[in-house]
Amino acid sequence: MKNFKPPLAILKEQALVLEELTNGVLTAESFFYGGVYEFKIKCPALNNYSYVLFNFYMEKDYYPVKIGLAVCDNQEKFEDILRNFLDSSVTKRVIDGLLSQVKCLGGDNENH
């Protein structure tokens, strides 16, 4: 059995991966707003523009977590659903669009 991680810790790890993959051009954060958590992709070079990638709900700091129509009763299911969101064509389109805009502005984004 793998080590237990709360949902917010998993999301923080994914935010760090995004920042690393984009050489710091994009970041991501989880925000609690009006009873709902939001996972946002942020682009500091574009006046801190942010895009809410998905909303999620937790009654406690752990499980269950509701993302869209899915209810994740445990870490494994949460990671599977999260992987689907992060690998989706919508997510890829948002990331590619933001990176393209930064590149057009002359931002340092050699890999994209």
Spatial separation of the C-alpha atoms in residues 21 and 32, rounded to whole Å:
25
* The pLDDT of residue 108: 53
- Say whether pLDDT at 2 is over 80: no
- Distance between alpha carbon 12 and the CA centroid of its chain, in Å? 8
Domain range list for the chain: 7-101
Nearest to 82 by CA among 93, 92, 72: 72
pLDDT confidence tier of residue 5, bands split at 50, 70 and 90: very high
Beta strand extents in the chain (DSSP E only): 27-33, 36-43, 49-58, 65-67, 70-72
| pLDDT tens-digit readout, 55-83 | 999 977 789 999 988 999 999 999 999 99
Q: What's the chain's average pLDDT?
A: 90
